[in-house]
Amino acid sequence: MDSFFSTWAWYISGPLLGLFVPLLLIVGNKQFGISSSFEQMCFMMVPGAKKLYKDYSPSSNAWKVFFVVGISIGAFLATHFLSAADLPFLPEKYYSLSGVLKLFLGGLLIGFGTRYANGCTAGHSIFGLSILNIGSLKATVAFFGGGLIFTFLAHIF
């Protein structure tokens, strides 16, 4: 039981996540990715979205909202009930005006990057690569390259 409640190594959790992709595709004919769920949420909440998304089918995409809510609930349960360490919601440095501004700016940049790349890291790097999509390969290389550059620059400044 201890191995279930402790952190799993990458060589265990990675293949399990990798097996989820074909399972989702074969069983439900659904593509794995998170950013497309925001399209569903915008469709549900934004007035006049039906005019903008004429080809969009809200009934066949409603599962995406439940998927994201399930991930959120799972993360909450894992951090509050399954973790041996007491994990805070955010590090203390983000409970200030400058911290909130950094989070807001980071959110805008992630949203822009997701839209610009036509998908998120999960959609491209996990699902897109599994179906041998060349655009997903380019996006994944850009994600990792950008991450390495940012990490290098963050340590300098």
Residue 113 domain-assigned (yes or no) = no
Distance, CA of 65 to chain centre:
13
Confirm whether 19 is domain-assigned.
yes
Q: How far apart are CA 40 and CA 29, in angstroms?
A: 17
pTM, 2 dp? 0.62
Task: Report H helices in 32-133.
Answer: 35-45, 49-52, 58-61, 63-77, 97-116, 121, 129-130
In a domain? residue 110? no
In a domain, residue 32? The reply is yes
Is there a domain that residue 30 lies in? Answer: yes
Range of the domain at 40: 1-87
Residue 147 domain flag: no
Q: What is the 3-state secondary structure (H, E, C) of 111-153?
A: HHHHHHCCCCHHHHHHHHHHCCCHHHHHHHHHHHHHHHHHHHH
For the chain, what percent of residues have pLDDT higher than 70? 89
Cα(99)–Cα(93) distance, rounded to whole angstroms? 6
Establish if 70 belongs to a structural domain.
yes
Domain count, the chain: 1
Q: What is the pLDDT of residues 8-31, one digit of tens each?
A: 888 988 888 888 888 888 888 888
- What does DSSP assign to residue 47? T
Is 46 domain-assigned?
yes
Residues (pLDDT < 70) of the chain are 1-5, 52-53, 83-87
